[in-house]
Chains A and B, each alone.
Chain A
Amino acid sequence: EADIYQTPRYLVIGTGKKITLECSQTMGHDKMYWYQQDPGMELHLIHYSYGVNSTEKGDLSSESTVSRIRTEHFPLTLESARPSHTSQYLCASSGQGSGNTIYFGEGSWLTVV
């Protein structure tokens, strides 16, 4: 099972602020993902990476950006937060074993006021 750590877990910020959500995994997984999920709603893939220096946009259009400079680290940045960005952000990773199963971090709850 993957160990995936997300910080901060909960954050309230003002409109227009820049925020970076951190995500790190200790299992050496090559693939990492960011999902957005509103309460009671479905998961939406916003970014993914298949390895260092590889990043792709997901199915849901997002104003966020990501980087993958190190295998274990996949931060997500919002340059100018808006109330519409209020949501839960879930980081995940997968490796070669266990059928390429995706494992999730505990999530970061973002509220933009």
Chain B
Amino acid sequence: QKEVEQNSGPLSVPEGAIASLNCTYSDRGSQSFFWYRQYSGKSPELIMFIYSNGDKEDGRFTAQLNKASQYVSLLIRDSQPSDSATYLCAAKDSNYQLIWGAGTKLIIKP
């Protein structure tokens, strides 16, 4: 059973601090990894994707991938109350199917 694991949270972070969200995956054949944000009652929206080892930065967001450790993370710098949401990690497996984590609920405290 291919799995993507995330801590369900909630993860509480003070406004202005760095929020760190983590995700592990079981299929070593996975090549692409995605982070989505989902506000309560809304549909998921893409934040960024990563497929190379290392860091990928987009504004206040940085995705980190370590294929040897089968580990993906998302860092949010200068966290804002508007960042409060559930963050979904997904991995595209060796059959090109997207395997979803259950999501981590992030709360940014003003």
| Chain A interface size range | 10 to 19
Q: Is B25 interfacial (CB-CB < 8 Å)?
A: no
Hey, which chain A residues are within 8 Å of B98, CB to CB?
Answer: 45, 102
Q: Is the Cβ of B32 less than 8 Å from the Cβ of A100?
A: yes
**The one of B40, B43, B49, B101 that contacts A104, using a Cβ cutoff of 8 Å:** B43
Question: With a CB–CB cut-off of 8 A, which chain B residues contact A101?
Answer: 34, 46, 49
How many B residues, CB 8 Å from partner?
20
Query: In the complex, are the beta carbons of B49 and A99 less than 8 A apart?
Result: yes
Complex Cα–Cα for A100 and B91 (A): 12
Known contacts A99-B51, A100-B96, A101-B49; is-contact A42 B103 (Cβ 8 Å): yes
B103: A residues at CB distance < 8 A? 42
16 contacts across the A-B interface (CB closer than 8 A): A39-B41, A41-B102, A42-B101, A42-B102, A42-B103, A43-B44, A43-B88, A90-B43, A99-B92, A100-B96, A102-B34, A102-B90, A102-B98, A105-B43, A106-B42, A107-B42
